[in-house]
């Protein structure tokens, strides 16, 4: 299979038509020209367009009839004529959609009797429609135009296509731009990245970065970032690549210089961020601390365009996400925290709101009605673009704040003092846009790590309400549920004022449901939150947890493959049995005491790590602190023998936990202590204690 790339008319012009809002502005000077589509697909200059008020020529009945014709010889000329009419005219595109011709065009695409030449003409026509307003794109999608349009599937289906495309790159500037753009769009998975690397894309992109044309350099950098994202193999290839005594990373670094175009600076900074996150560069590398980090921080300022500010903020949050040192540097760089605050206040202008309200389609004329709908679509697109930018600005700000506040309490305090932050955060937690909602949850999770904020600010703002709602909604993504439940864990800490209202809102049932989830992180967070909730809780709350979680689920959690889930489940049981006044009552509930003993034995007889078995021995120690509950241990000789055997275990933590249990059993001031001491002495415990008393471990000897 041979793939060719259509050359452009002007070297350096983009290989694909740029989408634009095509408005008719008759007030423009006649000598100013605007770019529109030409029939050949090139960008050309057109005369000044007609005024907005000019009437729109309807599609002739003959043209529509010919397009509906089953005869290709009749239909093809009509499609070509239609394609010519659509070029540069959003109004004509609107008429095509209004008259229902999209369905007919898509029918032609799937009809086997029509020739490839005919289908190519129809494809160009559909492509022209797709380059109109968002309203037109949505109409195509609603008609199913994208159902079989997965270009990446085509590229990777034939193993000869990728090498052929890469081989075309050196032949011309236009091919370099086009191929880099195609591969950027078609690189969707780790498998795609690996295939492109195997076919030598990295050296070819190195050549593009050495081009004197910025129109080539930018697609080269964009393709490189897609190739390197979370891919250690690709970043390793980049780090090892050199040409003419210059490494590829050094060449990338040159694009972050201030005299370069902003797009190049930002894309190069993103490359450096990806190299760092894949372990190629250290956090102290000067290319990060003196180039990439200052660059993206600087580009978040109001002087940059909205798109550039969003791009810079997204790159920044990814760059500093896992490094406390980079977070510290960023927080004191160029008033970053206050710069991000301006991201939260962008909204529709009054002019946009007024224009949207004033649109009316009351005219009885069908043509006028169509015109009004067309203008409404134009204004709605502008409003939608502003709304989407506003959402993206907030999303980016929340991600930066989340990254900045991940580790440092002082930074969190500075963030929480940001004007409008918490009201905006609460509003976005209930937004219909999942990306914005997810970013807001992430920001709240980062801030919820602050003990001071849990005790003060979050008491005045009920942030837990939208979190509970998110955890209850079936539309919430797994990622949202994980971060929301992690945040709820923090809000349920003992000193948090939010704990009581969360409990009253049905948290126990909701958290128990999380422990049944397939995703280990959700099971972990569910148990973890229950553990926090049970800490120093009233007996009524503990009993409610026991009844809601049920014994069968406790055993499933203790058998979980994720050791963290097992640890938190044991921690939950420890908290439930942590109050001496509660232990006897809870162990005496139905068969709960027997089931707890079975769970402990299950852990002690398993091959779990010492940290897990330590928790099981501590549970026995808590049971031994009860009055009647002691009998669950003293009446079970197998359990006693297991505890005694762990007193001589090679692990210090297990020996200490076993001694803790024995100590509670033989406590002299409690009823029946003499009998218990005598029995344990018969089992040789006194001799083991004497040996441990002489141990070099001071803590163990003290016990």
Residues 491, 493: Cα–Cα separation, whole Å: 6
Q: Over the chain, what is the mean pLDDT?
A: 84
pLDDT of residue 51: 38
DSSP category for residue 451: H
pLDDT of residue 125: 87
Tell me the percentage of the chain whose pLDDT exceeds 90.
53
Residue 702 confidence class, pLDDT cut points 50, 70, 90: low
**DSSP-assigned states of every residue in 566-613:** HHHHHHHHHHHT-SHHHHHHHHTSTTHHHHHHHHHHHHHTS---HHHH
* pLDDT tens column, 12-54: 333 333 333 333 333 333 333 233 333 333 333 333 333 333 4
* pLDDT tens column, 85-131: 888 788 888 888 888 888 888 888 888 888 888 888 888 888 888 88
* pLDDT tens column, 639-691: 999 999 998 888 889 999 999 999 888 886 778 788 888 888 888 888 888 87
Higher pLDDT, 335 or 349: 335
Residue 463 and residue 426 in contact, taking contact as beta carbons nearer than 8 Å:
yes
Q: Is the dihedral of CA 195, 200, 202, 208 positive or negative?
A: negative
Residue 275 and residue 285 in contact, taking contact as beta carbons nearer than 8 Å:
no
Taking only Cα atoms into account, the Rg of the chain, rounded to an integer number of angstroms, comes to 34
Chain Cα centroid distance, residue 626: 47
Residue 11 confidence class, pLDDT cut points 50, 70, 90: very low
Give me the phi and psi of 431, to 5 degrees please: -70, 150
Place of tokens 């393709």: 223
Q: Is the pLDDT of residue 637 over 60?
A: yes
pLDDT of residue 373: 63
**Half-sphere exposure of residue 122, counting CA atoms within 13 Å on the CB side?**
23
- Pick the closest to residue 336 from 323, 345, 327 (CA basis): 327
Look up residue 30 and give its two tokens.
């006649």
Helix (H, G, I), strand (E, B) or coil at 37: strand
Residue 608 and residue 614 in contact, taking contact as beta carbons nearer than 8 Å:
no
The angle formed by the CA atoms of residues 46, 51 and 54, to the nearest 5 degrees, is: 115
User: Which of 2-16, 137-151, 459-473 shows the lowest per-residue confidence on average (mean pLDDT)?
Assistant: 2-16
Any bridge partners for residue 36, and if so which?
Answer: 44
Consecutive H or E run containing 45 = strand 43-46
Residue 352 confidence class, pLDDT cut points 50, 70, 90: low
pLDDT of residue 127: 83
Q: Is the pLDDT of residue 362 over 50?
A: no
Place of tokens 């973890």: 528
Domains (range + CATH), the chain: 604-702 (1.25.10.10)
Residue 468 confidence class, pLDDT cut points 50, 70, 90: very high
Residues 174, 57: Cα–Cα separation, whole Å: 37
Residues 460-467, mean pLDDT to the nearest whole number: 90
Residues 558, 545: Cα–Cα separation, whole Å: 16
* pLDDT tens column, 285-308: 999 999 999 999 999 999 999 999
Look up residue 385 and give its two tokens.
């673009």
The size of the chain, in residues, is: 703
* pLDDT tens column, 195-219: 999 999 999 999 999 999 999 999 9
Higher pLDDT, 419 or 529: 529
Residues 30, 24: Cα–Cα separation, whole Å: 13
Whole-structure pTM value: 0.77
pLDDT of residue 90: 82
Residues 557, 47: Cα–Cα separation, whole Å: 72
* pLDDT tens column, 366-382: 545 554 566 666 677 77
pLDDT of residue 92: 85
Residue 570 confidence class, pLDDT cut points 50, 70, 90: very high
137-162 burial, b at 16+ Cβ within 10 Å, e below that, comes to: bebbeebebeeeeeeeeebbeeeebb
Residues 372, 590: Cα–Cα separation, whole Å: 73
Residues 64-85, mean pLDDT to the nearest whole number: 89
pLDDT of residue 29: 35
User: Which of 11-15, 182-186, 286-290, 544-548 shows the lowest per-residue confidence on average (mean pLDDT)?
Assistant: 11-15
126, 129, 134, 136 alpha-carbon torsion, rounded to 10°:
-90
Q: Is the pLDDT of residue 355 over 70?
A: no
Place of tokens 């011709």: 101
- Pick the closest to residue 342 from 379, 306, 384, 383 (CA basis): 306
Residue 597 and residue 639 in contact, taking contact as beta carbons nearer than 8 Å:
yes
Residue 99 and residue 47 in contact, taking contact as beta carbons nearer than 8 Å:
no
Residues 165, 179: Cα–Cα separation, whole Å: 6
Residues 96, 60: Cα–Cα separation, whole Å: 11
* pLDDT tens column, 515-541: 999 999 999 999 999 999 999 999 999
DSSP category for residue 48: P
* pLDDT tens column, 232-271: 999 999 999 998 889 999 999 999 999 999 999 999 999 9
pLDDT of residue 353: 55
User: Which of 20-29, 397-406, 533-542, 547-556 shows the lowest per-residue confidence on average (mean pLDDT)?
Assistant: 20-29
Look up residue 374 and give its two tokens.
């067309």
């Amino acid at each position: 299979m041979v793939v060719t790339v259509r050359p452009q008319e002007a070297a350096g012009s983009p290989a694909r038509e740029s989408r634009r809002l095509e408005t008719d502005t008759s007030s423009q000077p006649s000598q100013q020209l605007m770019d529109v589509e030409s029939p050949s697909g090139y960008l050309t200059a057109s005369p000044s367009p007609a005024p907005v008020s000019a009437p729109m020529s309807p599609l002739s009945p003959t043209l529509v009839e010919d397009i509906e014709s089953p005869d290709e010889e009749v239909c093809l000329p009509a499609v070509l004529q239609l394609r010519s009419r659509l070029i540069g005219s959003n109004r004509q595109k609107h008429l095509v959609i209004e008259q229902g011709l999209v369905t007919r065009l898509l029918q032609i695409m799937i009809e086997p009797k029509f020739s490839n030449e005919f289908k190519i003409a129809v494809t160009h026509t559909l492509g022209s429609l797709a380059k109109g307003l968002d309203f037109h794109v949505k109409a195509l999608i609603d008609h199913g135009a994208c159902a079989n349009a997965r270009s990446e599937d085509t590229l990777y289906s034939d193993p000869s296509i990728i090498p052929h495309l890469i081989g075309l790159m050196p032949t011309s500037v236009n091919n370099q731009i086009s191929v880099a753009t195609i591969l950027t769009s078609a690189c969707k998975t780790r498998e795609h990245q690996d295939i492109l690397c195997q076919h030598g894309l990295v050296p070819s992109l190195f050549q593009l970065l050495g081009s004197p044309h910025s129109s080539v350099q930018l697609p080269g950098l964009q393709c490189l970032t897609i190739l390197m994202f979370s891919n250690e193999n690709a970043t390793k290839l980049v780090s090892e690549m050199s040409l003419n005594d210059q490494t590829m990373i050094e060449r990338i670094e040159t694009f972050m210089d201030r005299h370069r175009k902003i797009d190049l600076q930002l894309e190069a900074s993103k490359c450096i961020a990806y190299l760092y996150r894949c372990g190629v560069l250290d956090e102290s590398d000067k290319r990060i601390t003196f180039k990439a980090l200052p660059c993206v921080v600087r580009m978040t300022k109001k002087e940059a365009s909205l798109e550039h500010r969003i791009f810079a903020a997204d790159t920044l949050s990814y760059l500093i996400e896992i490094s406390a040192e980079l977070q510290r540097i960023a927080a004191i760089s160029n008033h970053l925290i206050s710069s991000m605050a301006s991201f939260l206040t962008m909204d529709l202008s009054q002019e946009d709101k007024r224009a949207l309200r004033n649109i009316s389609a009351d005219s009885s004329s069908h043509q006028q009605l169509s015109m009004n709908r067309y203008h409404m679509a134009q204004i709605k697109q502008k409003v939608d673009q502003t709304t989407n930018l506003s959402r993206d600005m907030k999303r980016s700000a929340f991600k930066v704040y989340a990254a900045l506040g991940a580790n440092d309490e002082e930074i969190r305090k500075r963030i929480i003092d940001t004007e409008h932050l918490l009201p905006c955060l609460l509003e976005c937690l209930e937004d219909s846009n999942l990306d914005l909602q997810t970013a807001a949850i992430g920001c709240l999770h980062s801030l919820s790590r602050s003990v001071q904020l849990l005790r003060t600010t979050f008491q005045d703002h009920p942030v837990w309400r939208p979190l509970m709602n998110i955890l209850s909604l079936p539309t919430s993504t797994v990622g949202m549920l994980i971060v929301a439940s992690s945040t709820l864990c923090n809000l349920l800490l003992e000193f948090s004022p939010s704990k009581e209202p969360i409990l009253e809102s049905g948290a126990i049932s909701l958290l128990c449901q999380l422990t049944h989830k397939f995703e280990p992180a959700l099971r972990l967070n569910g148990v973890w939150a229950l553990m926090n909730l049970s800490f120093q809780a009233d007996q009524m709350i503990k009993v409610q947890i026991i009844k809601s979680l049920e014994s069968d689920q406790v055993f499933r959690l203790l058998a979980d493959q994720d050791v963290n889930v097992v640890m938190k489940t044991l921690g939950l049981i420890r908290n439930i049995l942590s109050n001496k006044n509660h232990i006897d009552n809870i162990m005496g509930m139905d068969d709960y005491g027997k089931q707890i003993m079975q769970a402990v034995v299950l852990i002690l007889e398993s091959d779990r790590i010492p940290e897990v078995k330590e928790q099981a021995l501590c549970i026995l120690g808590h049971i031994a602190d009860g009055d009647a509950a002691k009998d669950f241990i003293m009446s079970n000789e197998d359990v006693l023998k297991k505890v005694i055997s762990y007193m001589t275990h090679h692990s210090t933590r297990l020996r200490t936990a076993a001694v803790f249990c024995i100590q509670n059993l033989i406590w002299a001031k409690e009823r029946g202590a003499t009998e218990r001491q005598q029995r344990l002495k018969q089992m040789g415990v006194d001799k083991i204690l004497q040996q441990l008393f002489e141990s070099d471990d001071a803590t163990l000897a003290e016990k």
